[in-house]
Chain A
Amino acid sequence: MTVDSTAARKPRRSSSKRSSAKQGPAEPQLVQLLTPEGKRVEHPDYSIDLTPEELRGLYRDMVLTRRFDAEATTLQRQGELGLWASLLGQEAAQIGSGRALRDDDYVFPTYREHGVAWCRDVDPTNLLGMFRGVNNGGWDPNTNNFHLYTIVIGSQALHATGYAMGVAKDGADSAVIAYFGDGASSQGDVAEAFTFSAVYNAPVVFFCQNNQWAISEPTEKQTRVPLYQRAQGYGFPGVRVDGNDVLACLAVTRAALDRARTGQGPMLIEAFTYRMGAHTTSDDPTRYRRDEEREMWEAKDPILRLRTYLTDEGMADEAFFAGLEEESDALAKRVRDVVRAMPDPDHMAMFEHTYADGHALVDEERAAYAEYQASFVTAEEGN
Chain B
Amino acid sequence: MATEKMSLLKAINASLRTALENDPKVLIMGEDVGKLGGVFRVTDGLQKDFGEERVIDTPLAESGIVGTAIGLALRGYRPVVEIQFDGFVFPAYDQIVTQLAKMHARSLGKVKLPVVIRIPYGGGIGAVEHHSESPEALFAHVAGLKCVSPSNASDAYWMMQQAIASDDPVIYFEPKRRYHDKSELDTAAIPGPLHTARVTRPGTDLTLAAYGPMVKVCLDAAAAAAEEGKSIEVVDLRSMSPIDFDTLQTSVEKTGRLVVVHEAPVFLGTGSEIAARITERCFYHLEAPVLRVGGFHAPYPPSRLEDEYLPDLDRVLDAVDRALAY
Spell out A's residues near B (CB within 8 Å). 135-142, 147-148, 150, 152, 155, 157-167, 169-170, 188-189, 192-193, 195-196, 199, 352-357, 359-362
- B198 → A minimal CB distance (Å): 15
* Structural contact, A196 and B58, CB atoms closer than 8 A: yes
Give the residue name and chain of the B residue nearest to A355 (CB): B168
* Structural contact, A165 and B72, CB atoms closer than 8 A: yes
Does B195 sit at the interface, judged by CB under 8 A?
Answer: yes
* Structural contact, A155 and B75, CB atoms closer than 8 A: no
* Contacting residues, chain A, for B143 (C-beta < 8 A): 354, 362
A148: contacting residue among B66, B77, B107, B195, CB under 8 A: B107
Give the residue name and chain of the B residue nearest to A142 (CB): B110
* Structural contact, B168 and A158, CB atoms closer than 8 A: no
A356: contacting residue among B58, B71, B95, B167, CB under 8 A: B167
Find the residue from B74, B168, B241 having the highest chain A CB count within 10 A: B74
* Structural contact, B69 and A162, CB atoms closer than 8 A: yes
Q: Which of B97-105, B149-157, B293-301, B302-310 contacts A (4 or more CB under 8 A)?
A: B97-105
* Structural contact, A159 and B71, CB atoms closer than 8 A: yes
* Contacting residues, chain A, for B68 (C-beta < 8 A): 158-159, 161-162, 165, 193, 196
Interface pairs (21), CB distance under 8 Å: A135-B108, A136-B105, A138-B108, A140-B111, A141-B111, A155-B67, A158-B63, A158-B67, A160-B71, A162-B71, A163-B71, A165-B75, A170-B75, A188-B91, A189-B67, A196-B68, A353-B104, A356-B109, A357-B168, A360-B195, A360-B242
Does B49 sit at the interface, judged by CB under 8 A?
Answer: no
Bound complex: CA A199 to CA B77 (Å):
19
* Contacting residues, chain B, for A152 (C-beta < 8 A): 94, 98-99
Interface string of B260-297 (1 = CB under 8 A from A): 00000000000000000000000000000000000000
Bound complex: CA A260 to CA B28 (Å):
25
* Contacting residues, chain A, for B144 (C-beta < 8 A): 354-355
Besides A135-B108, A137-B107, A158-B71, 6 new A-B residue pairs in contact (Cβ under 8 A), listed by A number = A150-B99, A160-B71, A166-B71, A169-B77, A193-B64, A196-B68
- B306 → A minimal CB distance (Å): 31
Give the residue name and chain of the B residue nearest to A359 (CB): B242
- A84 → B minimal CB distance (Å): 19
Does B70 sit at the interface, judged by CB under 8 A?
Answer: yes
* Contacting residues, chain B, for A352 (C-beta < 8 A): 105, 108-109
Spell out B's residues near A (CB within 8 Å). 53, 58-59, 61, 63-64, 66-77, 91, 94-95, 98-99, 102-112, 143-144, 146, 166-168, 195, 241-245
* Contacting residues, chain B, for A163 (C-beta < 8 A): 71-72, 74-75
Bound complex: CA A98 to CA B103 (Å):
24
B168: contacting residue among A162, A170, A356, CB under 8 A: A356
Give the residue name and chain of the B residue nearest to A167 (CB): B75
Find the residue from B68, B99, B102, B146 having the highest chain A CB count within 10 A: B68
* Structural contact, A189 and B59, CB atoms closer than 8 A: no
- A131 → B minimal CB distance (Å): 14
* Contacting residues, chain B, for A141 (C-beta < 8 A): 74, 107, 110-111
A155: contacting residue among B58, B94, B168, B195, CB under 8 A: B94
Give the residue name and chain of the A residue nearest to B242 (CB): A360
* Contacting residues, chain A, for B107 (C-beta < 8 A): 137-141, 148, 353
* Structural contact, A148 and B98, CB atoms closer than 8 A: no
Contact A195:B59 (CB < 8 A) given known A159-B67, A356-B112, A357-B168:
yes
Bound complex: CA A195 to CA B64 (Å):
9
- B273 → A minimal CB distance (Å): 10
Bound complex: CA A165 to CA B53 (Å):
10
B104: contacting residue among A147, A157, A161, A355, CB under 8 A: A355
* Contacting residues, chain B, for A170 (C-beta < 8 A): 75
* Structural contact, A148 and B59, CB atoms closer than 8 A: no
- A280 → B minimal CB distance (Å): 19
* Contacting residues, chain A, for B63 (C-beta < 8 A): 158, 188-189, 192
Give the residue name and chain of the B residue nearest to A356 (CB): B167
* Contacting residues, chain A, for B77 (C-beta < 8 A): 166, 169
Q: Considering the complex of A and B, which 10 residue pairs feature the smallest CB-CB distances, nearest first?
A: A162-B71, A158-B67, A166-B75, A162-B68, A192-B64, A356-B167, A163-B71, A360-B242, A353-B109, A140-B110
- B277 → A minimal CB distance (Å): 9
Contact A159:B74 (CB < 8 A) given known A138-B107, A165-B68:
yes
* Structural contact, A159 and B243, CB atoms closer than 8 A: no
* Contacting residues, chain A, for B109 (C-beta < 8 A): 352-353, 356
Give the residue name and chain of the B residue nearest to A152 (CB): B98
Give the residue name and chain of the A residue nearest to B70 (CB): A159
* Structural contact, B71 and A161, CB atoms closer than 8 A: yes
Give the residue name and chain of the B residue nearest to A136 (CB): B106
B67: contacting residue among A162, A167, A359, A360, CB under 8 A: A162
Bound complex: CA A169 to CA B104 (Å):
24
* Structural contact, B112 and A148, CB atoms closer than 8 A: no
A165: contacting residue among B66, B71, B95, B99, CB under 8 A: B71
- B35 → A minimal CB distance (Å): 16
Give the residue name and chain of the A residue nearest to B109 (CB): A353
* Contacting residues, chain B, for A354 (C-beta < 8 A): 104-105, 143-144
Bound complex: CA A196 to CA B63 (Å):
11
* Structural contact, A195 and B71, CB atoms closer than 8 A: no
Give the residue name and chain of the A residue nearest to B67 (CB): A158
* Contacting residues, chain A, for B108 (C-beta < 8 A): 135, 137-138, 352-353
* Contacting residues, chain B, for A362 (C-beta < 8 A): 143, 242
A353: contacting residue among B61, B70, B105, CB under 8 A: B105
